Structure 1
Amino acid sequence: MNPFLPLVGSAAVLLAGPLSAATLAVAFGGNYVTNANGSQTLQEGGFTPGGDPLQISPAANYTGPVIHGRMQVFSGTSGNANYRILNNGDLDRIELKTSDAVNNTGFLILFRQENFLNGLNTGNVGFDSTSSLRLNNVIYANQTADSGRIVLRQGTTYYISERVYTALGDVTTPNLTTLSYFAYDPATTIDPNSPTTAVSIVSGGMIQNVTEVGFYFEAQNSANAIRIQDIAINMVAIPEPTAAALLALAAPLCLRRRRRR
């Protein structure tokens, strides 16, 4: 038996490190609209040439979390009169509804790591089996099969989940690592086009290096809308390798070099 195997095994455990408890990283649910008209239009958004999403949350008379993303009509043209934060007392809503009476419109809502709560705005953060994502849709009906998906950015690459939300209601997804994910490029088109080939984004039982998280929805013409009242996303901080772990991994290599002399 190799005498260094127990040492290497211990180092692997140290490399993974103990995870902190899942912590609230994103929260939407409160009284954010301050203007007399009772709503604030979302900005249309889009992506920079480098592939980063632009801000869509209102630039004024709004005190809620910063939201990035994009609205896209798949054909024709549309205004954005119902693409807004709608005042509802202490329970304001994100309303995603196109004013186009014919064409479908896709909506991408993203929260960036730079705005995560509770110290999760830097470092390696992600999802493990204890993390969760809650979404409360007070209206969500007659959507396309592409709609109602979770969107993640892992490092610089986007992925979209299998369909999770198929109706209105308060839904908590307890373990995002169990879902299927598909490659996704929302900067080209935010319509996922019914992806069929899943890819693996789970490593060591975790989805690591998550720099953005959000949702994709699609409204079928102006007859339907998505109204989101609550969002709560709990994530974990993933520790970097410890000095002790790196030293333990290096020890067998040092001894091997000595034998060669």
Structure 2
Amino acid sequence: MKSHAFLRLLLSCSILMAAHAGAATLAVNWGGDYGTGNAFEPNGFTGGEPGQLSPSTNYSGTSSVFYGDARSFIGGIYQGTSTTFGMVVNNGGLDRIELKGSDAFTPDPPNNTGFLLLWKQQDFLNGMNTGEVGFDATSSVRLNITTYANQAADSGRLVLRSGGQYYISSRIYTASGDQTTANLPALSFFAYNPANDINVNGDGTPASIASGGVIPGVTEVGFYFESIGSSNAVRIQDFEVSLVTVPEPSSMAASASLLAAVCLIRRRRNA
């Protein structure tokens, strides 16, 4: 009887612990009919901070704003009236982000053009724009890719900023389709410094950014793609990110103490 009572005690404590975990909440929701088509603004990183790439006009809502860099690694980039280099392309009610190398002024061989797009916490939805947020096993990233044509070997990666440092995942998006990635703490991430160079060359040594099954302190999240020349492209129709609230250490300690006291009282009653 005592063993059954102790099992019930463990179950009750587990339920109490789960009640203290934050629920995954939609923080980024890019997709919809935002505008009439906009070329990316020619921004990069100033003082280590990404500049705003889009929108320039005709947008509404916070999740439509994104930051980062778009850069050719060989030669120059023609933007001007380009219809192929990075743009938000109006597609009825389903606008697309088009990541494609520069067009008429591309030399032979064609340029490799890198695209790093980031959504900042200041624009996160549903109250996730303040406080500490992060990824746990219940969080997810959804990327709906309508076109994925002949990308570079390092193309198709998640990027996040945690604790003031950027990290990039091992390559996971390598085809078109509607793909959801769950349990991000289980992925391999590598230190990344896009302020120096957004180009990704290999992986390096995996960084330990998860603690207790949580990637804490996430302030930016996005993705990296690299197009080889103007004949190839990635077109992204939807980008969604769900995050959890990360309790402050003081509140976690208080909750743990309260939980321990409750469990101890229940154990004594069942003894």
CA contact (8 A) 1:31 1:91 kept: yes
How far does residue 58 in structure 1 lie from its aligned partner after superposition?
Answer: 2.2
- Partner of 2:209 in structure 1? 201
Kindly report which structure 2 residues correspond to 1:103-252, keeping only aligned pairs within 5 A, or say none. 103-240=111-248, 241-242=250-251, 245=254
TM-score (norm 1): 0.84
- In structure 1, distance between residues paired with 2:55 and 2:184: 29
What letter corresponds to residue 117 of structure 1 in structure 2? Answer: L
How far does residue 155 in structure 1 lie from its aligned partner after superposition?
Answer: 1.9
- In structure 1, distance between residues paired with 2:216 and 2:164: 12
- In structure 2, distance between residues paired with 1:137 and 1:129: 23
- In structure 2, distance between residues paired with 1:93 and 1:53: 21
Secondary structure of the structure 2 residue equivalent to 1:19: coil
Secondary structure of the structure 1 residue equivalent to 2:185: helix
User: Cα RMSD (Å) of the superposition?
Assistant: 2.2
How far does residue 39 in structure 1 lie from its aligned partner after superposition?
Answer: 1.4
**Stretches of structure 1 lacking an aligned partner (at least 5 in a row):** 1-13, 250-261
Secondary structure of the structure 1 residue equivalent to 2:46: coil
Secondary structure of the structure 2 residue equivalent to 1:208: coil
How far does residue 139 in structure 1 lie from its aligned partner after superposition?
Answer: 0.6
CA contact (8 A) 1:46 1:70 kept: yes
- In structure 1, distance between residues paired with 2:238 and 2:142: 8
CA contact (8 A) 1:16 1:239 kept: no
Does the alignment pair 1:32 with 2:34?
yes
Does the alignment pair 1:85 with 2:82?
no
CA contact (8 A) 1:17 1:239 kept: no
TM-score (norm 2): 0.81
Identity of aligned residues (%): 55
C-alpha distance 19-99 of structure 1, shift in aligned 2 (>3 A): same
- Partner of 1:94 in structure 2? 97
Kindly report which structure 2 residues correspond to 1:6-25, keeping only aligned pairs within 5 A, or say none. 18-25=20-27
- In structure 1, distance between residues paired with 2:150 and 2:52: 28
- In structure 1, distance between residues paired with 2:49 and 2:189: 20
- In structure 2, distance between residues paired with 1:208 and 1:243: 14
C-alpha distance 73-247 of structure 1, shift in aligned 2 (>3 A): closer
- In structure 1, distance between residues paired with 2:163 and 2:121: 11
CA contact (8 A) 2:102 2:111 kept: no
- Partner of 1:253 in structure 2? none
C-alpha distance 243-90 of structure 1, shift in aligned 2 (>3 A): closer
Does the alignment pair 1:56 with 2:53?
yes
- In structure 1, distance between residues paired with 2:214 and 2:230: 39
Does the alignment pair 1:75 with 2:68?
no
CA contact (8 A) 1:15 1:242 kept: no
How far does residue 99 in structure 1 lie from its aligned partner after superposition?
Answer: 1.5
- Partner of 1:257 in structure 2? none
How far does residue 60 in structure 1 lie from its aligned partner after superposition?
Answer: 1.2
Aligned length, in residue pairs: 232
